[in-house]
Amino acid sequence: MSDYSSDYTVAKNSKIIIAANNIFVTFKPFIDSYSFDSTNNFIEVKSLDNITQKTTGEKERKYKISFNVPAVDAKEAIVNHKKFHKLLRMSMPTDQTRDNSFFVKFANLIHKESPNSYNISDGSNSSRFSNFNTNVGLQCKVSNLSYQPDLDLGFFDDGGMFFAKNYKIDLDLEVYPGSYPVGKKYSAADVADSKTKKVKPGNLFGFPVKYNSKRKSFGD
């Protein structure tokens, strides 16, 4: 059985893609909520006549995203719950030395530098992971991961095991400082590509922002 959401997601390359430690897991974009938060560092500059505040750059970036994971039948519900189990296991390091970074891509809303469409399937090999975490996925750490079954819709019963017909995932993502300029004043060298003069942070949602080196300012 299909509700055509899989066909649409593949055709539009609009999967929510999460990768860690050579493992991929993907979800359809049934978005419940989405937010982006940027916090700046400020310092006080004192003079004889007043006190002003100046920013020294971004302190941190955070994303919060909630999405539903519905199933049209018991078979899809089982697959969906395997995906959450995989995601949960990905968030748990096996030892103290392993990097626990996540790399996340969702269309032009969460990405590293390129908002372009990207498609990949669950279980893709490690060679795809290397390209994904280098060029596509935004490096984050997951500060919160929650699972909420939709009790109003209920569960599928599969041989005495229960699988929610729909559940919601809440993800709180903290972007690694190395993924964007942080802790210092932006300059042309810091944020602008030498050829296109397009600012990397300004490409946040797929709308490049140019840096004017003469005026030392940002513009359309």
pLDDT tens for 156-191 read 999 999 999 999 999 999 998 766 543 344 444 444
* Most confident residue range from 61-70, 136-145, 209-218: 61-70
- What is the reported pLDDT for 165? 97
**Helix, strand, coil content of the chain in percent (nearest 5):** 20, 40, 35
Q: What is the pLDDT of residue 90?
A: 85
The proportion of the chain whose per-residue pLDDT surpasses 90, expressed as a percent, equals: 33
Task: Find out whether 145 and 169 touch, Cβ atoms under 8 Å.
Answer: yes
List the beta bridge partners of residue 163: 156
Report domain extents, the chain.
Answer: 5-184, 186-220
Residue 178 has a pLDDT of 66
Contact between 57 and 124 under an 8 Å Cβ cutoff? The reply is: no
Tokens of 140: 């984050």
- Mean pLDDT across 97-109: 79
Tell me phi and psi for residue 187, to 5 degrees: -135, 170
| Residue 184: per-residue pLDDT | 41
The order of strands in the sheet holding 51-70 is 23-27, 16-20, 102-106, 138-149, 166-175, 51-70, 30-46
What pLDDT is recorded for position 116? 63
Please give the pLDDT value at position 3. Answer: 72
Confidence of residue 196 (pLDDT cuts 50, 70, 90): very low
Average pLDDT, the chain: 76
What gap in Å lies between CA 169 and CA 116, rounded to an integer? 24
Check whether 79 has a pLDDT greater than 90.
Answer: yes
Looking at residue 167, its pLDDT comes to 98
Residue 145's pLDDT is 93
- pTM summary value: 0.74
